Amino acid sequence: MELLEKLAILADAAKYDVACTSSGAKRSNTADDTLGNAVRGGICHSFTADGRCVSLLKILLSNNCAYNCEYCVNRKSNDIKRAAFTPREAAYLTMEFYKRNYIEGLFLSSAVIGSPDNTMELIIKTVKLLREDLGFNGYIHIKAIPGTDRKLIEKAGNLVDRMSVNVELPSRKSLLLLAPEKKPEDVFRPMKLIYEGISEEGKAVKRRFVPAGQSTQMIIGATPDTDHDILGLSEKLYGSYKLKRVFYSAYIPVVQSSKLPVVIRPELRREHRLYQADWLLRFYGFKVNELLDARSRDLNMDLDPKCDWAIRNLSFFPVEVNTADYLELLRVPGIGINSARKIIQARRTHRLDFDNLKKMRVVMKRAKYFITCNGRMQKGLRFEQEYVKTSLLLSENSLYEQLSIFGDHGNGV
């Protein structure tokens, strides 16, 4: 098979893995015999904090899988065209693409080639060729295969910028149903090893172990797991293993199976709500049991999680912007991290009014229902649950109508 034909097959097979993001690492090219740099701005098909669009070569080493996961296009029983790169071919492609300025780094994953250890050894061989033989100094993100031996995780972690171990499904019951060859402990063991390696890094100055951290992915909608189940697991992963990101991927039917649900459209709005809730967990001080409880196990599809929480907790409001502390401000819909910091800074010199908040880019169409300035709400508003809820729903529906011009994927923006 020609190399470009392999590339077409294995790049297409990799598109369902969304667990990649900006690099979070900085490494300058200082030696004469090396190529490339890694920067905190980011590596992948994404937009960085400074507005740049960056890219990486995203491929599988092989799509010839020994496992038979029901939801996976590469499963053993699926009748598809198979292909595999040798480590040297994958390294060569990366270098050639980099020299032509097509990419800034590599995301390398693989189907399970025979066994987890064999697969990981081939991935490591590819990365070693890039780093040691070809002098590639750019960003590399690899997938750690669940069930891999500890020593292989350690070898890989000293060569790459980021590693990810995909949870895929949020419960043991779901894994048993759709991916019986995978066990939760096979996923969490390498996660723990990566976390321990990162934690030990500061004790050995010369060692750089997975400097950009680790991430994971969960498939949403292939099983009956609730949003509470999904976010509860995410909360544990952030707490126990200090993950950089949990990625959520709406289930897209790519194979036929009686064990899979019938899906007409991917649950893109649900995926979007999970990302919003995840952001609240990571940066806004919320807990899963605040956003969801025993009665409400799934997120509100009509309102973003912060607005939904605020409506159910009106006793917390209104918040006076001239006296509230930082964490109280973060609980206000329409006030983000940057605007909360601006408010804290600005009120040291003067009292703030609604015009000041607009200039700070507070989203007033949401915030106005939950705040006071100098003891007063904005004129004409009523602090009543049904009134506030109806007003926010109208605003949210207007937003999704605007996004619909971009097609179904507008729900994932």
Domain boundaries, the chain: 3-266, 305-412
Please give the C-alpha separations between residue 107 and each of 60, 90, 217, 253, in angstroms, as whole numbers. 9, 11, 14, 24
Query: Which tokens is 284 given?
Result: 């806004």
Rg (CA), the chain: 24
Determine the pLDDT at residue 37.
Answer: 56
For the chain, the helix, strand and coil percentages under 3-state DSSP, each to the nearest 5: 40, 10, 45
Q: Which residues touch 122 (CB under 8 Å, ≥6 apart)?
A: 61, 87, 110, 113
Q: What is the spatial distance between Cα 377 and Cα 392, in angstroms, rounded to a whole number?
A: 16
Q: What is the pLDDT along the chain (413 residues), one digit of tens a residue?
A: 799 899 889 988 888 887 665 444 555 666 566 666 554 433 345 433 344 455 788 899 999 999 999 999 999 999 999 999 999 999 999 999 898 877 888 999 999 999 999 999 999 999 999 999 999 988 899 999 999 999 999 999 999 989 999 999 999 999 999 999 999 999 999 999 999 998 875 554 445 899 888 999 999 999 999 999 999 999 999 999 999 999 999 999 988 899 999 988 899 999 999 999 999 999 999 999 999 987 889 999 999 999 999 999 999 999 999 999 999 999 999 999 999 999 999 999 999 999 999 999 999 999 999 999 999 999 999 889 999 999 999 888 765 554 443 343 332 22
Q: What's the CA gap between 354 and 337, in Å, rounded?
A: 18
DSSP 186-203: HHHHHHHHHHHHHHHGGG
Domain 3-266: assigned CATH number: 3.20.20.70
Distance CA 127, CA 327 (A): 43
**In a 10 Å sphere around its CB, with 0-12 CB exposed, 13-18 middle and 19+ buried, how is residue 157 labelled?**
buried
Coil, strand or helix at 398? helix
| Predicted pLDDT at 18 | 74
Beta partners for residue 248, in sequence order: 218
